[in-house]
Amino acid sequence: MTDTVLKNEGIRVLTQNLGKVEAERFISLIIREPFDYTAWRKNLFDDMSIEELSAKATEFAENEK
């Protein structure tokens, strides 16, 4: 996937799920502040138990069908 295709797909996913206004707001927030996605993901589920995480994963998988 080229960088251009990736950017276009990212914008499509954001606008499809957030709407145009909230997608633009999200992009502005990311650009405005230093953001380390890898560090953010490492700590994303720290406050969840394994059971809670499993329940959310199951719920997500069921909603994707």
pLDDT in tens, 3-62: 999 999 999 999 999 999 999 999 998 888 887 888 888 888 888 899 998 998 899 888
Q: What's the confidence (pLDDT) of residue 9?
A: 96
Q: Which of the pair, 42 or 65, is modelled with greater confidence?
A: 42
**What is the Cα–Cα distance from 44 to 53, expressed in whole angstroms?**
11
Please, are residues 14 and 26 in contact by the beta-carbon 8 Å criterion?
A: yes
Q: What angle do CA 56, 15, 27 make, to 5 degrees?
A: 90
Flag whether pLDDT at 65 surpasses 80: no
Nearest-Å Rg of the Cα atoms of the chain is 15
Q: What's the confidence (pLDDT) of residue 14?
A: 96
Q: What's the confidence (pLDDT) of residue 63?
A: 87
